[in-house]
Structure 1
Amino acid sequence: MTEISTKEGWREHVNTVYERPVPVTARELRAMSFGERALYNQGRAQFSQAGAFVRTPHFQAFQAAVRDRVMLNAYRRVGKLGLILSGEPGQGKTTSLVEVGKAHERRRRETQHPAAGRGKIPVVYVAVPAQCSAKALMHEFARFLGLPVLNRMTYGDLLDMVANALRRCSTELVLIDDVHHLDLKYRQNIEASDMLKQLSERCGGTFVYAGIAVESTGLLDGERGGQIGKRFEVHVAVPFPLSNTVEKARWGDLLLALENSLCLAEQTAGSILPAAATLHALTGGEIGLLKDLLQFAALRAIEDGTEKLDLSSFERDLGRRQELAKGLGTIPRRTRARTNAA
């Protein structure tokens, strides 16, 4: 599997579709041969991990905002509009960013849009490396596009080459992940941030940033940040709250969608809901932690042949965690989760 930060890897990711395995009963599963059962288990693991995507209300709002800006920027020469997806780790930022790009490219292909024609690249995905200079970031764009980079090339040469390539390839969406690495306390990061603005003005694509607590990196501060703040709408990914009826309903919808994605033969739809409060206490409403917790539980259910989630195990996990917190004092939720998983 090729990394998605190259056009070949991105194309492979967009082309790959993991279908949900045909549902079987526990009896039918037990009647399978060892090899058949192994293939079936592999298929449902693939679907659960990579094929199923939960379209939360926050994701739907983010996707709609991206679509609006792609449409508006197609007619703008200057002052391109963009988006920033910010939040703490575990909130599904990268997953949402990649899913928006994948859905956009597949939609362009299905409608036979010129941007998805032969030789075109409608979506570009670049992850910002740590301690990134403007020239290093240009190298990441060149690597995705498959452009040759010569040692004698200056920053200006690289900018021209990448901007021209993005225009020729009719790129509509430029996804910049790990943008928190552009901490503007460092001069080289300021230059990289300025480069992104220059590149945005020189190509037709809509730029979408994603990163951890982007608001604290300085990207939106000062004169430079003022321009970004006026043109880029910030969407903040936060844990699911659980303080009123509407929020509890949304948390329940998320649990039902994830329960369905696990493809367990004996799991009755909706039987996860009695554990809603416990699962929220264990994960703090973080979708990343919730997915990991449920997928490990599903793996245990497959291995022991029960084919359904053991809700009592979540209660036991929460009890052990509370006892640990009493003995050691309050520790970060993510540390507690890793300790428990180990």
Structure 2
Amino acid sequence: MTQAQITAAVCATYAQVGVRLVLIDEIHRLNPYTATGAETADLLKDLTERIGATFVYAGIDVARSELFSGVRGAQLAGRASLIDFGSFPARLGQQEPFKELITLMEQALDLDHHKAGSLPRLASYLHERTGGKIGSLARLIRQAAIDAICDGSERITRASLEAIQLDHFAEEHYRPRTRHSPTHGRSRR
């Protein structure tokens, strides 16, 4: 099949099954200045015109990526509204969405000796530790669960969480402010 035939088949299938939402992740990796990136940008533009669905593009720092620059980027930008999601909030009015997320993640754990409710009690620490980033939180809990299985403890504690090194963003965010001072912890020469 040619690209045009594949596109037509995809559009017909989406229409037939009533697709109303299309999620495209890792959009920040699309560079419309490369040959494959240009083809992909053109395909996305074509699909948004032919499929009666809402398209959601998810990516990291897309506003500063190549994605919305140049002619092709302008076409994509003209069809999209940018919604900037920062950190997941610890509090939202009376609600605690980060704590609720931790509770759901904890419920998915299958550790024999883990005490239910122990992770939500660490919500403030976990929010500070991860900068409120869901990916960092998921990596932290996943690695702590793996470690708990490997060491036989079958439970996650604050100490076990502290022992895990996270991604660069989370580690930079979590460092106490005094570490950034040029003389802290170092002798002057």
TM-based fold match above 0.5 = yes
How many residue pairs get aligned? The number is 169
After superposition, what is the alpha-carbon deviation per residue over 1:263-313, rounded to whole angstroms, capped at 9, x for unaligned? Answer: 223333222233222222221111111112112222233334433222233
Partner SS for 1:208: strand
Which whole-Å CA distance do the structure 2 matches of 1:263 and 1:296 have between them? 13
Which whole-Å CA distance do the structure 2 matches of 1:226 and 1:247 have between them? 40
Are the aligned partners of 2:143 and 2:164 in contact in 1 as well (CA < 8 Å)? no
Correspondence for 1:294 among 137, 141, 144: 141
Matched residue, 1:326 = 179
How far 1:253 sits from its partner (Å)?
0.7
After superposition, what is the alpha-carbon deviation per residue over 1:202-242, rounded to whole angstroms, capped at 9, x for unaligned? Answer: 45555432322222235445776565445433333322234
How far 1:255 sits from its partner (Å)?
1.3
User: 1:76-95 residue pairs with structure 2 within 5 A?
Assistant: none
Matched residue, 1:260 = 107
**What is the identity, as a one-letter code, of the residue corresponding to 1:302?**
I
Are the aligned partners of 1:278 and 1:314 in contact in 2 as well (CA < 8 Å)? no
Matched residue, 2:186 = none
Matched residue, 1:161 = 5
Matched residue, 2:41 = 193
Are the aligned partners of 2:141 and 2:161 in contact in 1 as well (CA < 8 Å)? no
Matched residue, 1:100 = none
Are the aligned partners of 1:241 and 1:247 in contact in 2 as well (CA < 8 Å)? no
Q: Please give the TM-score of this superposition, normalised by the length of structure 1.
A: 0.40
* Shift in CA distance, 221/268, structure 1 to aligned 2, threshold 3 Å: same
1:212 aligns with 2:60: yes
* Shift in CA distance, 317/224, structure 1 to aligned 2, threshold 3 Å: closer
* Shift in CA distance, 307/178, structure 1 to aligned 2, threshold 3 Å: closer
Q: Which runs of 5+ in 1 are unaligned?
A: 1-147, 149-156, 330-342
Which whole-Å CA distance do the structure 2 matches of 1:237 and 1:269 have between them? 30
Matched residue, 2:27 = 179
Give the alignment's Cα RMSD to 1 decimal.
3.7
- Structure with bigger helix share is 1
Which whole-Å CA distance do the structure 2 matches of 1:253 and 1:195 have between them? 38
After superposition, what is the alpha-carbon deviation per residue over 1:78-120, rounded to whole angstroms, capped at 9, x for unaligned? Answer: xxxxxxxxxxxxxxxxxxxxxxxxxxxxxxxxxxxxxxxxxxx
Partner SS for 1:233: coil
**What is the identity, as a one-letter code, of the residue corresponding to 1:269?**
A
After superposition, what is the alpha-carbon deviation per residue over 1:303-329, rounded to whole angstroms, capped at 9, x for unaligned? Answer: 3443322223345669x9748x83897
Are the aligned partners of 1:163 and 1:202 in contact in 2 as well (CA < 8 Å)? no
After superposition, what is the alpha-carbon deviation per residue over 1:172-224, rounded to whole angstroms, capped at 9, x for unaligned? Answer: 3554333223334x264455423422343345555432322222235445776
Correspondence for 1:285 among 113, 132, 135: 132
Q: Which runs of 5+ in 2 are unaligned?
A: 166-170, 183-189
- Structure with bigger strand share is 1
* Shift in CA distance, 251/205, structure 1 to aligned 2, threshold 3 Å: closer
Correspondence for 1:233 among 81, 90, 102: 81
Which whole-Å CA distance do the structure 1 matches of 2:92 and 2:13 have between them? 48
Which whole-Å CA distance do the structure 2 matches of 1:261 and 1:170 have between them? 32
* Shift in CA distance, 216/247, structure 1 to aligned 2, threshold 3 Å: farther
